[in-house]
Amino acid sequence: MTGLTESLSRFIANPGFDTLPAEAVRIVKTGFIDNVATMIAGRNEPVVRIIRQFVAARKSGVREASIVFGEETAASADAALINATAAHALDYDDVALQGHPSTVLVPAVLAEGQYLDASGADALRAYLVGYEVWAELLAREPDAYHVKGWHPTGVLGTIGATAAVAHLHRLSPDASRNALALAASMASGLVANFGTMTKPFHAGRAAACAIEAVRLTTGGLTAAPDAIEHHAGYLAALSPQGRVDRAGPASTLGRQLRILDSGLSIKSYPMCYATHRVIDGVLDLVTAHDVKSEDVTEVQAWVGVTQASMLRNHAPVTGLEAKFSLEFAVASALVARKVGLRELTDEFVTQPRVREAMARVRTSTLDTHCPIEPIFAFTDRVTIELKGGRRLDTGEIRFARGNAKLPLKDEELRAKFLDCVSGAGDLDGVGLYERLNAIEELDSVRDLVPHNHRG
C-alpha cells in the first residue's frame, strides 16, 4: 500500500486541479492580499530589523527575491525568512488550520516564484497545494497542537510550504517525497515562545526551510521515504499521546478541497485570534450602551481552555506581550474603544487607565469545542458589571468578525490592506492591491514587485 509520504508527494506532482474552482481562487487571493498587507505593515518591526541584519551579515550577494516589497533583494530562502517574519510580526495575519497558513505559504511561494519567474496562476495553485497538504496532516491528529506545546504554523507550515514550493518547481513524486521528508526534520515552533519575537520567527523559518528543503533535494541531499508516517517519524514525534493516524495514504487529496470548508479567517485586530470574539463582544456593548471605562467594576470573559492557555500574559508591559493577553484586549476595547496597531505599543499598554482596566478583567474557561476550529470553545461570552449594579451581557458569540463563516466584505478587506500599507511611502498601495486582486492574470509574480529585480 502507498505510504503517506508517498501519497502526499504524488499529489504535489499532480494535484488534479488544473482549473481551480472560482471559490478556491477567491479564498487564495484573499490570503495573498491580506498577507502582503501584514507583511508591509510589519516591515519595520524590531524582529524584522534583527533578521535583516542577520541575513545581511552573510553577505551572500545572491539576488533572487525582493525583501518586504522594497528595493532590497536577497537569496530566495532569506527573502522568505524576512518576509514571513514580517507578515507574522504584528499577529494581524489570517487564521485557519489551527495556525496562520498564508504567513508561511505566501512568502515562500512569492520568493521562490520570483526566482523561477512563475506566473500568478502558478502561485495560486502552489498555495492551494500547500494548504491542502497542511490540512491533511492536521486532520490526522485529534489532540490540539497548542496544548502539547507545538505551534502549528511552524511545525505544519514547514511541510505545507515545502509542498507548495515543490509544486512550483514541478518536482517529480520521488523528489517531492524527499523534500517533504527533509522538511520534516526541519519543522519546529513552541507555544512557550508566544508573546516574544520568536513567534513570528517560527513563520520565517518555516517559509525559509521549505525553500531550502526543495533546493537541497534538487542538489542531491537524501532523506527517508517514510519520514512522515514512520513510528519514529514526524507525526509520531508531534503526538505524545500516540493517537495520530499514521497508517493510511492521503486518498482524498485533490478530490475534496478542504479550503472550501475551512477557508481563511481574516483578522480585524492585530491580536492573537483567541481574543477576537471577546473583543467584538466588548466593543458591541461599549458602543451600544456608551460604556465608560471608569464606570466598569468588572468584566467577566468566558473562553475555551486552549484559548486561555495561549493567552498567557495577564499583566503585559509591552505591546508584544499584550498580543497574547485577554486582559489587555478587554482594556483596550474599554479605554480606546478599539484594538488596533496604534494601541499595540508599549506606551499605550503601560498607561494607568489601561492597567487599571486590565485589573478588572476575570477569565473563566469553557469545556466546549467548536467543530470548525477545535482549539476554540463553541462560543465565547462577555459580561460587564457597571457601578450601580447594572450588568451587560453579550450572550454567546459564535464567530468573530472576519471569520471564514462571517467574512469581511471586499471593501473591508481593501480598507485593511490600504491601512496596513499606508506607512510605506515607497509603494503605490492602490496599484499593489489591484495587481494582487488580479494575480491569476499575471504572467510573472515578479510584476507584483514595483522594483522588479530579475536577479
pLDDT in tens, 121-158: 999 999 999 999 999 999 999 998 998 999 999 999 99
Q: What span, in angstroms and rounded, lies between the C-alpha atoms of 314 and 370?
A: 24
Q: Residue 1: is its pLDDT beyond 70?
A: no
Q: Residue 450: is its pLDDT beyond 80?
A: no
The b-or-e profile of 385-423 (16+ CB within 10 A means b, else e) is beeeeeebebeebebbbbbbeebbeeeebbebbeebbee
Q: What span, in angstroms and rounded, lies between the C-alpha atoms of 333 and 159?
A: 37
Contact predicate 177/5, CB 8 Å:
yes
Number of other CB atoms surrounding residue 289 within 10 Å: 13
Q: What value does the mean pLDDT of the chain take? A: 94
Contact predicate 274/310, CB 8 Å:
yes
Nearest to 209 by CA among 159, 170, 175: 159
Cα radius of gyration (the chain): 22
Q: What span, in angstroms and rounded, lies between the C-alpha atoms of 145 and 242?
A: 13
Residues 6+ apart with CB under 8 A from 393: 381, 382, 383
Contact predicate 302/326, CB 8 Å:
no
Compute the CA torsion angle 271, 405, 20, 97 (nearest 10 deg). 50
Q: Write down the H helix ranges in 301-421.
A: 305-310, 319-322, 326-335, 346-349, 352-358, 410-421
Q: Residue 41: is its pLDDT beyond 90?
A: yes
Return the C-alpha cell found at 100.
Answer: 496562520
Query: At 455, is the pLDDT very low, low, confident or very high (cuts 50, 70, 90)?
Result: very low
Sheet of 296-304, strand order: 361-366, 296-304, 381-386, 391-393
Return the C-alpha cell found at 40.
Answer: 508591509
Residue 267 DSSP label: P
Nearest to 104 by CA among 154, 29, 38: 154
pLDDT in tens, 170-192: 999 999 999 999 999 999 999 99
Q: Residue 452: is its pLDDT beyond 80?
A: no
pLDDT at 247: 85
The b-or-e profile of 328-352 (16+ CB within 10 A means b, else e) is bbbbbbbbbeebebebbeeebbeee
Nearest to 204 by CA among 158, 268, 169: 158
The two most distant CA atoms of the chain are separated, in Å, by 73
Q: Residue 454: is its pLDDT beyond 80?
A: no
pLDDT in tens, 231-285: 999 999 999 999 999 988 888 888 889 999 999 999 999 999 999 999 999 999 9
- Residue 111, Cβ density class (10 Å: 0-12 exposed, 13-18 middle, ≥19 buried): buried
Q: What span, in angstroms and rounded, lies between the C-alpha atoms of 253 and 257?
A: 7
Query: At 453, is the pLDDT very low, low, confident or very high (cuts 50, 70, 90)?
Result: very low
Domains of the chain from N-terminus onward? 4-267+416-448 (1.10.4100.10), 273-393 (3.30.1330.120)
Number of H helices, E strands in the chain: 21, 6
pLDDT in tens, 280-320: 999 999 999 999 999 999 999 999 999 999 898 999 999 99
∠ CA(325), CA(377), CA(261), 5° rounding?
110
Q: What span, in angstroms and rounded, lies between the C-alpha atoms of 40 and 48?
A: 11
Q: What span, in angstroms and rounded, lies between the C-alpha atoms of 304 and 87?
A: 26
The three-class DSSP label of residue 403 is coil
Q: What span, in angstroms and rounded, lies between the C-alpha atoms of 268 and 320?
A: 17
pLDDT at 209: 98
Q: Residue 380: is its pLDDT beyond 90?
A: yes
pLDDT at 18: 76
Residue with cell 553577505: 59
Q: What span, in angstroms and rounded, lies between the C-alpha atoms of 283 and 82?
A: 34
Contact predicate 323/351, CB 8 Å:
no
Nearest to 86 by CA among 158, 155, 14, 38: 38
